[in-house]
Amino acid sequence: MNKYLAIAIGNTRIKAVIFGSDRQILEEYAFTHDQLPILEAKLTDRDFANIAIASVVPELLTSWHHLPQTKILRTSDVPLRDLYTTMGCDRALAAYGAGEVYGYPVLVIDAGTAITLTGIDADRALVGGAIVAGLRSQFLSLYENTSALPDVHIPESLPNRWGMDTPSSIQTGIAHIFLAGLQAYLDDWRSQFPDSKVIITGGDGEHLVKWGLQVDIIDKNLIFWGLWYCREFQSKALS
């Protein structure tokens, strides 16, 4: 059976999956940037019929970048309409993967180092989106840019609205303001596209859902579905 390697290089981590020829994910990996040699060591002796790479860190190169069977996917390769040239390929691919798997229109929330919202209508055209610093970035920003505020972890459950000390005030402030803002976006989207699915992906997605964000589906693999369905990858994978 032919196998196909898909790699997504984000701002913090490198993720990879190995597909079988029927879109089945056979193996999956996730490492930080400095752990790239570990990923390469695990897969260095493997043969892949085709390789697709999507990256938002162009200076970070892997041993697969220059292989003849490798395709570097860019935003312009994603078959959605009205995408702007500076849109990250990760956003475009996740939105495309969500639409192809779950149907259009669709709203995707990608909760990673940054949190992005990307809305696609029934004609596969970009409606618009938003970008804000992600949860971990919010907490880290307060810690790194003040002299007295502590380094506080992301709470597992939604904290009480009114904090009684500095750490709990940071947790509740970020959690409640963040959640309310995101929910307002979701409510507005659903008022325009009542039949749309709202799908969340990314490492902090489960935190937001535990706090009560009202999404329809959690799917950590949206970017890989997008890579799979792009013509440059799929045509070889299905041949």
Q: What is the pLDDT of residues 67-100, one digit of tens each?
A: 999 999 999 999 999 999 999 999 999 999 999 9
The pLDDT score that the predictor gives to residue 238 is 46
Annotated catalytic residue within 22, 82, 90, 195: 90
Average pLDDT over residues 58-69: 93
CA–CA separation, 34 vs 40, rounded Å? 12
Q: Is 70 exceeded by the pLDDT of residue 56?
A: yes
pLDDT single digits (tens) 127-176: 999 999 999 999 999 999 999 899 999 999 999 999 999 999 999 999 99
Q: Is 50 exceeded by the pLDDT of residue 227?
A: yes
Q: Is 90 exceeded by the pLDDT of residue 233?
A: no
Q: Is 90 exceeded by the pLDDT of residue 21?
A: no
DSSP class of residue 131 equals E
pLDDT single digits (tens) 98-125: 999 999 999 999 998 899 999 999 999 9
CA–CA separation, 145 vs 122, rounded Å? 43
Q: Which domains does the chain have, with CATH numbers?
A: 4-82+225-237 (3.30.420.40), 89-221 (3.30.420.40)
Helix (H) or strand (E) holding 76: none
Signed CA dihedral, 193, 199, 204, 206: sign only: positive
User: How much is the CA Rg of the chain, to the nearest whole Å?
Assistant: 19
Q: Which of 185, 10, 216 is nearest to 114 (CA)?
A: 10
Backbone angles phi, psi at 140, to 5 degrees: -65, -35
Average pLDDT over residues 46-64: 93
**Banded model confidence at residue 231, pLDDT cuts 50, 70, 90:** low
DSSP class of residue 129 equals E
CB 149 within 8 Å of CB 142:
yes
Model-level pTM? 0.91
Is 90 one of the catalytic residues? yes
Average pLDDT over residues 29-54: 93
